[in-house]
Structure 1
Amino acid sequence: MPRSKDAFEGIYPCDFYTPAELLDPDQMYTIREIGRLLQGLDPDADLDEGTEAVLVDWAVPWVMRNADDLVIGEPPTEDDPGYYGLKTDQ
């Protein structure tokens, strides 16, 4: 159900990092790692399953929105996730 803006103690801009701000140009990341980075966490941070699911829900649209600035790496095996990285001139 919708809530009045007055019901919140604080309202903040909905700003997200650009790929260049978020990703190391020499690294490739999984969706789970990108979700952690979007929250200012270490890409290897240990999270409970529910928190990680929420972060993945945020990371997928971020990757799709920023696809023009990203590259995709082939997963090492069929059971591994895909990897995403910053598109560079290399």
Structure 2
Amino acid sequence: MPRPKADFEQFRPLDFRDPDEVLDEETMYTVYEVARLLQGLDPGRELDAETENVLLDWAIPWMMVNAEAFVFAEPDADDEPGYYGLA
């Protein structure tokens, strides 16, 4: 539900970091791990499905906008996610 700006005490700019500020250049990550890292969380942290889905809603567009910065490795099995790393 929309809310009036007056309901909020302060605002922050919407700022996205560059991939090299988030990922280690020698490591490959699943999209789930990238989503956690974007939020400053440990990439192995367990999250409930609802929270994970919200984080993915932010991570996937960020990865698409920065696609030229990424490489992709096929998953080990068809039911596992692929891996992404810095190009």
Asked if Structure 1 and Structure 2 have the same fold, meaning a TM-score greater than 0.5 normalized by the shorter chain, the answer is yes
Structure 2 unaligned segments of length 5 or more: list them.
none
Structure 2 matches for 1:2-81, cutoff 5 A? 2-81=2-81
SS at match of 1:85: strand
CA distances 1:19-55 after superposition (whole Å, capped 9, x unpaired): 0000000011111101100110000011111111100
* 4+ aligned runs moved over 4 Å, structure 1: none
State, as a whole percentage, how many aligned pairs show the same letter: 56
Structure 1 window deviating more from structure 2 (9-18 vs 54-63): it is 9-18
Q: What is the aligned-residue RMSD (CA, Å)?
A: 1.1
Structure 1 unaligned segments of length 5 or more: list them.
none
Number of matched pairs: 87
